[in-house]
Structure 1
Amino acid sequence: MMDSISLSQLKRSLSSTASTAHFMMRSQKSCCSSSSSRNSSQDILPAIAGVASVEASGAKDAKNTTRAGVRSMPLVRSSSGFETTVSWDSPGDDRTQSETPHVTARAKKNRLRVTHESIIPLPKGATINPLVPPSRLHRHSAPHMRVSTEQSQPTFPKPTIQPPPSPASPDIILAVHGGAGTHAPHTHKPLLSLLRRSLAASLAQSSGDLTAPGTIIHLTCALEDSPLTNAGLGSNLTLLGTVECDAGMMDGVRGDFGAVGALSGVGNPIGVARRVMEEAGRGGVAGLVAPVLVVGEGAGRWWAERGGGGVDQDLVTEEARGRWRRHLGWLREAEEAARGGSNSPSDSGKRKRGPPSPPPITPNDTIGALLSTPSALYATASTGGTSLKPPGRISSAAHYGASIHARRVTAPSPPGMDHPAMDIACTVSGTGEQLITSLFAKTLVDAVGVHNGDCERALRACVEAFLADGHGERNVGVLLVKRELASSADADAESPTRSRRVVECWWAHTTDTFAVGYVSGGMRRPFVAISRVPRDSAGRRKRFVVEGRCVK
């Protein structure tokens, strides 16, 4: 006489049977009506319970086996010395979907003895794949499950393999800076991480459907969306406690330029600048001249009329609000001191102690990005401006030739020599008014051409002239990319000058620190760094630093 066991014991011994019933109930619920699903699910558990008496002397033998790399269901042996097998029919098989699964057997010595056979009904229209979770079953894609007398191995539809994304072109280079200023040591790690992630993500996007301008917009927006930078979200506040952003973009191949200034409520002003540049490049309609710069409330309306979204975003962060209050307090004290209204010893003592320590993360000046390929050249800049600026103030990011410039230049060469053309682009950070009056970005690009492509020489000359022109503290940080283009002499593949067509990335700054980074399609990971102005042997800080690298 065989021992009877409970339903829970049966489920543990015949795990495959319980798993099959679970799949069937789940697919029945998704394919049948609520009433029919309730009735059928009530029929399934009694069907399992019908296999109620087993002699569990060899339950460990009911294992999953692997044949030809395909997972198969465990074998269940009946009381009369037979075993059941499970197979699947593909949707293209001549058997219909509504066939009822049944139990058949073949003679073999058994260890698990089942008192009688049970037929588990498969709801009409349901399809089951034991290797796919029930929530992902689909009646048109999953194979049909049934119990068959055939001793064939399970067959499955061939999976659709998505090809891996194509790698980025080795000729593309992306460069970015996070602003020139004084970065506190505890801000270095998060800022470098932001630059690294932004460069890697934008390079990956460049291998997809994004065009060259779309790629550099993606890179710039990544920095605007982070409160770590003084652009977009978390920007410095005006004197009235509001956010007004400026941004500019230039196409170095076509010479097109577009910018937006004093824009409120738009988290990615670089997108507006791109639209201005593209419309300016196409020209006006009906004889009207397309603008290259739109500002203030008119810029918001201009963007909304063209379907631009997010014109009422709240870009003020708690950190920016706290910084604004501290700066406003310093300003009020300085104004009182200038009017001579604070001469008491207590007030004098407060001023001698100086301002409180800086906030945990201090945004610095304008951010910028560069993109260079053999056929495209772009430069961008975006900023929230200086803290406590008067409303309506426009920074250098929105001025032509001040913070960004990009163009194809031909360096002078001796007669009879074919000197290659060069793509040169730069994006500049610093004190906006000083950059506007000196046209620093355009002057630098022109100087590289004048100096026969010698970027270091051109950078040193421009920074020296910038420091000598004017009084007081003068701040600038510049990132530059130069690509030599193939000349007619390089048409011959064996030309010795062909191997010298390199891309160079340079940066220089007069501020204490400057966050920079770049990546190319041939690099394994982006390069990022916090550049610092060194000190001489006597410990005195040098006036500026110039550094550069050849890009692989």
Structure 2
Amino acid sequence: MVPCLAAVTQLMYTLGKRKECSQHSEENDLSKQKVSVQQRQKIGRPFFIAVHVGAGYHSPASSDANYRAMRRACKAAASVLSEAGGSSMDAVVSALKVLEDDEITNAGKGSNLTEDGSVECDASIMDGLTGAFGAVGAAPGISNAIEVAAALAKQSQGGLLPLGRIPPVFLVGDGVRDWALKQNIPVVEDSAEARRRLISERAEKQWKYYTKIIESYNSAAENHQRGQSTPLRSGSCLGTSATLQAPSAEAIDRDIVSDQGQDRVEDLVLDTVGAIAVDSEGNVAAGASSGGIAMKVKGRIGLAAQYGCGCWASSRRQPEGTSVAACASGAGEILIRGLAARECCNLAQKSEEGPGTACESFLSNLMSEQAAFGSSYDSGLLLVQLNTSQGNNDPKLRGVELVAAFTSKSFGVGYYGSLMTTPKTQIFRNSNSCNERPSQKVCVFEANVMNSRR
């Protein structure tokens, strides 16, 4: 494994080392711990949920807000999985709706804006047991794109539509809004109202900042073409590529401040959020949701919506194989070419060295292979692989192996198992230089989380 920050390589959670997970004050409350354990013993349904808030740059000033969002998402999913009949796919929807509704993330409200200043969301979901998949792309006026994607996935399991028509699994643009209205899914019909609800103050401020950068670049380009001496800054772009992210990080940190005049660092062009859920039967599901890269071209469909790219889930019974699920985040145009989520799951299932090594190898190879396209190397993978048992008297879900691998400046991850007293959250940070080759800056975090006492 390539050396990373000590916080990344040392944060290993095991059942026998609970003290290492007591980083938040709520975990030190013994009364809460006793109540939580009693509740889980009464329920007797092992489960696991993992979420992430994107591969990109998370400012220290936003850490607490990201921690809160991830904890609430984990708890929302856990409440679904703790109930009899609660499915892993429904749990993924519950977790991602929490993240979409929180302005701190780049999904739903608070999403990055397009070049023309509007919000267009992507989302997808996959059920590992049935293979059901649903997705929406460049969806305008949709607060919870994951809800529409899940409805598409569920409809596809119901057979043919009247007159033998095949039900859709992927809708884009205004077609998403029209279909959602027919399914009685809440959408914002009025464009002005959609703007008010979905555009956060932070996203609008960021859009204005990048608009000025693009205008300055275009002006410099025109002067350069006319033979004037104005130089073009190396690494500048026209706002349609993820490469806008890295070069401007320090400038944004200095220049963007809150209306109250506080000198706080703002987040930098974060990408897809994701969730993976495992129910008591060992069935997995995964989902992804995103507002896309900042200043994207109107109609652009990113990683979060595309099959095999933003999320993947496969529930397999032993000895046929190992259940695994993954969701990806980062520079979509690069990760899409590698079918990131699906290929990473396939490698993890075949690897004799474990899922952590598989994820690290995949990201390293993909970043090197795609370097010719000249895009951002920001990427992140969240993967869960199951440890299951075959005995009829034992829970099918004994534990999971959790992997978070990333090349971006930071990657925010949260997870919650049925034997944990509270969700654990962490924003991992990459200390490696951006000048290093991609294969030299993959950071990996691994944890083995038990979910049953038996």
Q: TM-score, normalised by structure 1?
A: 0.62
Q: CA deviation at 1:533?
A: 1.9
The question of 1:316 aligning with 2:199 is answered: yes
What letter corresponds to residue 528 of structure 1 in structure 2?
Answer: T
Summarize the Cα distance change of 1:390–1:345 in structure 2 as closer, same or farther, 3 Å threshold: closer
Q: CA deviation at 1:170?
A: 4.8
State the partner residue of 2:294.
387
State the partner residue of 2:52.
177
Q: CA deviation at 1:201?
A: 3.7
Q: CA deviation at 1:440?
A: 0.9
State the partner residue of 1:526.
423
Q: Provide the secondary structure at the position in 2 that maps to 1:421.
A: coil
Unaligned runs of 5+ in 1: 1-163, 411-417
Summarize the Cα distance change of 1:301–1:328 in structure 2 as closer, same or farther, 3 Å threshold: same
| 1:328-370: CA deviation from partner (whole Å, max 9, x where unpaired) | 111111223334169567998xx99956534554251100000
Q: CA deviation at 1:310?
A: 2.5
State the partner residue of 1:14.
none
The question of 1:510 aligning with 2:407 is answered: yes
Q: Provide the secondary structure at the position in 1 that maps to 2:348.
A: helix
Pick the aligned partner of 1:396 from 303, 320, 340. 303
State the partner residue of 1:236.
112
Q: Which moved more, 1:285-294 or 1:172-181?
A: 285-294
State the partner residue of 1:547.
445
Superposition RMSD on alpha carbons, in Å? 3.0
State the partner residue of 1:258.
134
Pick the aligned partner of 1:299 from 154, 176, 191. 176
| 1:367-391: CA deviation from partner (whole Å, max 9, x where unpaired) | 0000012242110100001111111
Q: Provide the secondary structure at the position in 2 that maps to 1:502.
A: strand
Pick the aligned partner of 1:466 from 366, 369, 373. 366
| 1:125-175: CA deviation from partner (whole Å, max 9, x where unpaired) | xxxxxxxxxxxxxxxxxxxxxxxxxxxxxxxxxxxxxxx977555520000
Pick the aligned partner of 2:278 from 372, 375, 378. 372
Judge conservation of contact 2:220–2:232 (CA < 8 Å) in 1.
no
Q: Provide the secondary structure at the position in 2 that maps to 1:422.
A: coil
Pick the aligned partner of 1:456 from 346, 350, 356. 356
Summarize the Cα distance change of 1:485–1:183 in structure 2 as closer, same or farther, 3 Å threshold: same
Percent identity over paired residues: 30
Q: Which moved more, 1:334-343 or 1:374-383?
A: 334-343
1:356-505 superposed matches below 5 A = 357-358=255-256, 360-362=265-267, 364-373=270-279, 374-409=281-316, 419=319, 421-452=321-352, 454-471=354-371, 472=374, 473-487=376-390, 490=391, 501-505=398-402
Judge conservation of contact 2:389–2:397 (CA < 8 Å) in 1.
no
Q: CA deviation at 1:282?
A: 2.1
Summarize the Cα distance change of 1:428–1:168 in structure 2 as closer, same or farther, 3 Å threshold: farther
Q: Which moved more, 1:440-449 or 1:164-173?
A: 164-173
| 1:466-509: CA deviation from partner (whole Å, max 9, x where unpaired) | 1111223322101011113334xx4697xxxx999531111100
Pick the aligned partner of 1:202 from 77, 93, 99. 77
State the partner residue of 2:243.
none
Q: Which moved more, 1:254-263 or 1:472-481?
A: 472-481
Judge conservation of contact 1:216–1:378 (CA < 8 Å) in 2.
yes
Pick the aligned partner of 1:192 from 56, 67, 70. 67
Aligned residues: 372
What letter corresponds to residue 328 of structure 2 in structure 1?
Answer: V
Q: CA deviation at 1:316?
A: 1.2
Separation in structure 2 between the aligned mates of residue 439 and residue 525 of structure 1, nearest angstrom: 33
Judge conservation of contact 1:377–1:407 (CA < 8 Å) in 2.
yes
